[in-house]
Every structure is written in C-alpha cells, then in structure tokens.
Structure 1
C-alpha cells in the first residue's frame, strides 16, 4: 500500500457515513446481479421472511422487495443509513413490506430459526466471512438460504502492491474455492457462486461517486481529514482499475443443512 494513503479504517466513521449517504450504493453491485443471485433460490415460501444485514441505504433491498412478496428487515449500524433506507422504501411505496432498523450484524434480535433468507451485499467483512456465516446460521429455518457478496481473490498469486493493500484493508480476503470451503464448514450446502462483472465497480459504484465527491469536498472545505478520505477513495479506485483481473466481489449462495 502506498505510504501517502491511509486505510479507510483510519478515518472518522462520521465522515464515511456522510460521504456514502450521498451515493446510490455503498458497495459494488447492481440490480441485475442482485436478481441473478436471487434466481438461484428454489422453493422460497410465497411470503419469505428476509433480513438484509449491513443494508446501507437499501439499494439492493428495494430490488429484493420488488421481486419477492417477502417481509424484509434491513439492519444497519448507522442511523443515517437507516433513515435514508426507510425514506427510500416510502418513496417506492414499499414501506408495508420493508423496514430498516438500527442494529449490529453480530448482535441480531431475530428469533432462532425465524428467517427464510439472509442477504448481505458487501458487508459481511465487518465481522468476517466465517464468523458471520456461523453466527447467522442459527437464525435461518431449516433449508433457509444465505446470500452474500464478498471480496475474493481470482488468482493464487498477484502483484505485491495489491496483495499488500488487501492484507491491510481486509486480511480475510481469500480465493473462491477457499471461501466455498469455509461456507460448507459453517453448515451450508454451497448452491452457487459467481463473480460480479467489472461494471458493478465502475458504472454502478465508482462512476456514481463523482457528484458525491464534489458535494462532500464542498461541504467539508478546508477539512484535511475529508480531503485525505477522498484521496484514499481515489487510490482504491485506481487500484481496482489496474488490478481487477486479480480480485473483485463474488456472490456466495448457500443453503442451511
């Protein structure tokens, strides 16, 4: 990792929340990939009970609501995101189907074996892939599904620059075969996995941040911490565009057994 940039973990969480409150998505993905992941789930109940953990402002949650008849509870640690989540649900007339609550994905309030589906796009890293899958399993009904997207290596070897960056940012990153083995060890039958295409990062994530960056810097003019945060975000984007053949996000879909 370059010596003149920091990890996102070095910044005030309030700055991070402020910035990502101005973006449509808080991580790589797209409606098309959310629906592709959903398509692998067979025999869901007509009205499944669903939790979206680390839901952010709910971009993917609203897609799920529009393509299932389920009751969906979005859980996020940050009240600002949850307020925007519930506002978005109301705008889309989904407030009777979708509800956001403030909570932590490692301290859930659901009843044991009460959920048909646990969804989490780009968020399980907050508690770790293995830990999250193990803990969440108790909240799923028998034959319930877990669907997560997770940072993954596509190759066994990669350039030192990107290896060092990810070992600092998220040491839990691993290859897809190793992630699938971890899923099975946690008590799931792996159903499917697929890699998110590059446009989930470029078109649907980084390109959407141009205006958000301008507004964020304008609102925090003279704030060196805010400027440093944007520099870090730009560095991460540069690395992805340079090294995306070596890593990205993959969806992992498992069924509780």
Structure 2
C-alpha cells in the first residue's frame, strides 16, 4: 500500500498521538468558528452540562469554556491528549469546571441518559460515523438539548476522481450538505444552523502548525518508515486540499433534540 492511500487509522496510535500533541488543534477549526457555532445555542446556564467528544488536547474546548458557563467534560481516546487538556484547563484557571477524561466514543459514553445540555464535537464524529454518532449520542441529551459537530462534506454534486477516491478511502460517509442536514433531521433533531468553516481554519489553524513540526518530527524519528509515511500522508492531504478546496470542506451542523 502506498503512503498516499494509507489512512491515518492504519498508523501506530502512539506516533499519531505524539505528532498531534505538538499542535493546538488536531483538525481544521478556529476560535472564531467555535464562538460562531456557540452563538446558535440557547439557554446555557452555570448549571448546564456540556460534553466535548473527541476533544483532543482541548483547543476548541478551552474556547467553549471561555465563552459559556457550565460544567464541561472533554472525552478522548488518548491519555496523553487528556493530560495536555487538563494541564491547559489548569493554566487557564478553568479546572474547577472543565475536566478531561479518557474514553472511547465507540463505546457507551460515561454520561447519564438525558443528562447533557450540549454535545460538542469538532472534526471528530467521523471516528464513529456521522449518522451513528447523531443517533447514539441523542440518548445523553435532555429534551431541547443541542448537538454541534463539524463534519467533512461535499460542496458539489460532482467532484474530480482524485479527491473522490481519497475521501472514499478515508471516510466514505462524506456526503453533500443537504444530505447531511437530512440525516440530522432523521436522527430526531431540528436542524438549527449549518455553515461552512472558512479556508483559514485549514490553512492557518491546522496545516501551518503541522508544517512547523514535521521536519522536527522526521529528525526525531529518523529512519522510521512509519513516521515517514505518516508525514507523507499529512502532506498529501494538504496538497489535495489546496487543489480541490472548492469541492469539499468542513461544515458545522447544529441540531436541537426534539
């Protein structure tokens, strides 16, 4: 298998964790986009309970906590991410109401039924699948609770074979925006808002920080073929985005549980 076709799920998880621990965000996004999405959500109070599923090191979670009251729990599969998450919360003086825990979104979540006011997930729901995540996570939301996720989506009905093949190999659930909105509604939510995240969420807030650490990472693991393939895959993804960004991107989907 060439490194251009190898998905990130086939790499050593420890290396993935080490690589992404060096950047603030583990996927496209920005503080401005997090705040914009939060603006569509009503009725959050100091008593609200919020879960950020697939939180990574918590770049977006800390922005959430700085813009809304309530208790926030971040959940991620990687213990090293959660260690950084909790350290960041402490540094920012947020640890009294922001806590990170290790857990898998694939398994039963450690929250009570109908206990959450808001479920958040930026660029991470693909790990369980958009439709499955919407349906399974709904049980943890109170009536009229919100879900807010960003998800890879097609902007056009047709797209070049190269980028189509890339996404079919990496995430075949990618779909058009109208189809994704229909999935939100079919899962039992009222679609509240949908918007495309700007290009700088990819270039400035994701690709640029990754580029700054790649040479360092290659030198640290000199001769490690797995690392070389990981970096080659990341660079290939960046090249494809610059070439085909008019055909796809991340879209925020916000729904309210009926």
Match of 2:221 in 1: 220
Q: Distance in 2 between matches of 1:80 and 1:181?
A: 36
Structure 1 residue 134 corresponds to structure 2 residue 135? yes
The match for 1:50 is 50
Verify: 1:113 aligned to 2:114, yes or no.
yes
1:10 matched residue in structure 2: 10
CA distance in structure 2 between the aligned counterparts of 1:255 and 1:116, rounded to whole angstroms: 10
Which range moved further: 92-101 or 44-53? 44-53
In structure 2, what is the Cα distance between the partners aligned to 1:49 and 1:171? 32
The aligned counterpart of 2:194 is 193
**Contact 1:71 / 1:97 at 8 angstroms: preserved in 2?**
yes
Cα distance in 2 between the residues matched to 1:194 and 1:223: 40
CA contact (8 A) 1:47 1:68 kept: no
Q: Structure 1, residues 65-90: CA drift from partner, whole Å, max 9, x if none?
A: 00111100000011010001001111
Q: Which moved more, 1:36-45 or 1:193-202?
A: 36-45
Question: Which SS does the other structure have where 2:246 is aligned?
Answer: coil
In the alignment, which residue of structure 2 is the partner of 1:23?
23
Instruction: For residue 209 of structure 1, give the secondary structure of its aligned residue in structure 2.
Output: helix
Inter-partner Cα distance in structure 1 for 2:128 and 2:69: 29
* Separation in 1, partners of 2:220, 2:7: 22
Match of 1:33, SS state, is: helix
Q: Is 1:82 paired with 2:79?
A: no
Per-residue deviation, residues 145-201 of structure 1 (Å, max 9, x unmatched): 000000000000000000000000000000000000001111100000000010000
Q: Secondary structure at the match of 2:251?
A: strand
Quote the offset at 1:3 in angstroms: 4.8
- Deviation, 1:46, is 4.0
Tell me the matched-pair count.
Answer: 256
Q: How many Å separate the matches in 1 of 2:140 and 2:202?
A: 31
Instruction: Give the C-alpha shift of residue 4 in structure 1.
Output: 5.1
Separation in 2, partners of 1:50, 1:213: 34
Q: Which residue of 2 aligns with 1:181?
A: 182
Q: Give the distance between the partners of 1:15 and 1:43, measured in 2 at CA.
A: 41
Rounded Cα–Cα distance in structure 2 between residues aligned with 1:203 and 1:46: 33
Question: For the aligned residues, what is the CA RMSD?
Answer: 1.1
Shift of 1:122: 0.3
Question: Which residues of structure 2 form unaligned runs of 5+?
Answer: none
**1:60 maps to 2:60:** yes
Find the aligned partners of 2:211 and 2:240 in 1 and give their Cα distance. Answer: 17
* Separation in 2, partners of 1:90, 1:52: 17
Deviates more, 1:44-53 or 1:164-173: 44-53
TM-score normalised over the length of structure 2: 0.97
Match of 2:246 in 1: 245
Deviations 1:65-120 (A, max 9, x none): 00111100000011010001001111111111100000111320101000000000
- Determine the structure 2 residue equivalent to 1:167: 168
TM-score, with length taken from structure 1: 0.97
DSSP 3-state at the match of 1:9: helix
